[in-house]
Structure 1
């Protein structure tokens, strides 16, 4: 549900101008969301504001309504500037502001972003818009060319500020803010508050009010999270099985690369699903057309990357499927925020490779919710599902009045071929199901492997111990318990096994070594206990006199690194840092290392 729709108004307590109040009434709004209730009074008073709230909480109205209240529509100069990290979010914000300003005669809203020709944007700017919503790069270009001036700017808003920084816009944002008049009111909205955001706040905002909205319990409860551990079949087969059997209105599938969006969408289309790709290689017109097709129900599955899906707000999206997992929990929060918005229910599905299981703990902490384990439908269950769908389709056709001619035709065929009507019907059914068999082949057998010391469930409580029933939730599924790490001893290094080759390793340097009495098992235990990283995700460890090196999966979330930075080994600070000396070289068998610990 869009932020415009999340508001349910009766905003009289906020003392908004009549033209804005009447617009909200006509939109059917009744009650302000928490961020609106707390932020709007400060902004109406002219104070700078630092707003900390998750996506889908109504931030657009929180800054849009008070900023519109300060605008003079008769002055055809830029009075409100909103910076957004992506084109999609810029368009969404502009549409929301236009809906709020529907009774403000003479007010114009322009959008300025890359990926679109300059012609339409120049035409909009020449009309003298009072509101401009822009992405940083294209805005800077217009400023340098003198097409946008800030002389009359009353309010500057940074929306999704943390995402702008994640996308590398820090210097651009600082450059833009340095060109804004000192009298301009500034509002910065962000889901998180990393150090860079605080530096911008200290530098550019004047005595800002700080409004922080905690993630609501209702919001948590509206998104069910389930994960399937990749095994037995590949992810593509698993995806096809899910999109065929899961009841969804529209599904958003996240992948890592642009090429993957195209390949996956084409594969789904070839299987008869209404799917399309959304990626940065598509021009803006094509991307907008694709999103509109999703809104209108012409496509039901959208395969996208993180960047282009940022700000995507389509009420139909009931499921988000993480085909590839993001490396950081903030991206995960934004992903699943595309569903279950403002009171709607939604479901987030995850495909988790064994080496990625450590990420789940950070996702749960970021969302405040549990992640249940799930199993895919078996081939037998898939076949039963297809057979029932086939029966329903054929049953609907039986009452078709045009079937009489078909009955005569099939009786004639049976007589001419000396074949029973039943055999002909079976032949037709066989032909019908050739592309999608009604009796799928069994899944290939999984090779048996030694899982001693490994956790066969996603639950972190029972690291190789007996299954005692812990981790079951009220839905009957397993969950990933965030609180009980279970077990008093750390996972042990595996005897006689070399480094795993299925993990993209990164080497880190530790400020402890043999001189400090440190052994390999001490390092394994400290890492496993402090960051809840499974021993299978700890690679080669080399001990030197004054330091050590350890290999951990690349793409380590900042939260994990922070926890390891505070860890201690034999009561000495671990002192972890990126190693610039390259990956560890093979060592003689008589030297101590992770492989033969």
Structure 2
């Protein structure tokens, strides 16, 4: 592809007064924009959309959250709608969007889907690493007009021949500087080289380093350069704080905050309609008065819910950005960004729901470690720092609960007619003279809790077996992540595939993330065993997630996800006596084998014996009773050895080198290193 003379024209955008209807967009796209409640474009949208509709290549210098997704999506869809009117709808990839992360790819795909809702037979397909190839291959085979993906997975599909770019009209590099910073320069070059020369290219970047200039010069034709100066700001009467918390622990974090801080009304923002209902139900189960609003709720119900919030009949409203648009309730003291917005303008609009009518307000942002870069974008856009918030301790929460309970007792005594209950207690006390009246009162208080514990509990220390699993498994080789105890809010699950099915940690993470909607950060320790795997996941998985995950296949096998009850499978218990954890020099016990003995963890130089999957007839991979396996890290007699031992990984004196007597001849070398995880 020839290099082009880069004669980029630069336009600095400020505030604009134009409407979306003034920009020349297709009527079907405008209808979708109107459905979402938008009338005026942001500065980057007002400057970019006309240039793209004219067919120009564009370089946009804009921060995350300035509205750039709509800036490239709306004109692309408008041009596709016009082509469909002329030539009919073609199920061929016409738009390719590259994004640095899976999360951003999903967000962009959702935006395209929303904007294309009135375009009839139209498909948007996200493709990204860490998820199963099957659904993506099926989607590409059926045809998707828009493909949004991460560079690593896009190049995989190009190499496999599953992504056909011959009809491509439009390429977008979103957050290009972030992609290059993450090491995707080579993939980006290869992808662009595989695209038709006559396509239109859009590049958005928060900064303009030399590497971005090189891409612009090499792959864009006389691009128009748009530079946006953000005018976003927030009121100084709003205190902004953030909490770094994993997704599975957000509910507990919010509970601690609500129980420890004085608040009047609260709005909690989430990204999806389903999440509004889910979070509201969980908050109600914890004793809060909460309700949800989203785009599927009828207008009459929405108005009634907001009126209840205004009147104090409910204290917490869980909402999406669209559903909360235009919401004005003075009593809102706190805004909780339960899900961080990927748009700084949305963040400003969200926290603007508090601090109304001259009041002060609190804005709290929940953020996972992977979302740190979005915090930096928010601080830059708002020109204010967001301070770190430390979650209240369990003791602090319990002190609040006890004080509140005591106040409730006093309030009930002074405001309620207790005649019936007093007579009941007197009668019970007379009939049970051996029971102190304080005990009776305590029992009644316990009954009043309705089965909910009064005090918050620290997560108990996991049992030794589970602790070993979460810290990296028996020998750590098949595990994922660093050594650690079971994370608060997580539980151990069991899936019905293991080493026998040749599963690897990467395929497990990908399947769980793809089918269960989990992020890789929510997936903890993985311990792969012979015919099953133990994996640490959030304890509060929804019924829909569990159902979806149970239908997931890895390597063609259903995983049958279920909570682990700590049992060992029968096949693991058969055979000789166990060598044991950190077994001794001659620890025995067979792993699945009937007669062989398995060496202990970090077993001694003579430890072990007996075949992995081997039987008494020694006909499979196993060896005989003299073969053996010490332990990972210790002197090892021989891995899956034959009668004479076999070569051992980090083998010691008992079986070093070896392997001559292994069935099939020479020792098979062991490869080093675990699976390389692609872009998640």
Q: What is the TM-score with the length of structure 1 in the denominator? A: 0.49
Larger Rg: 2
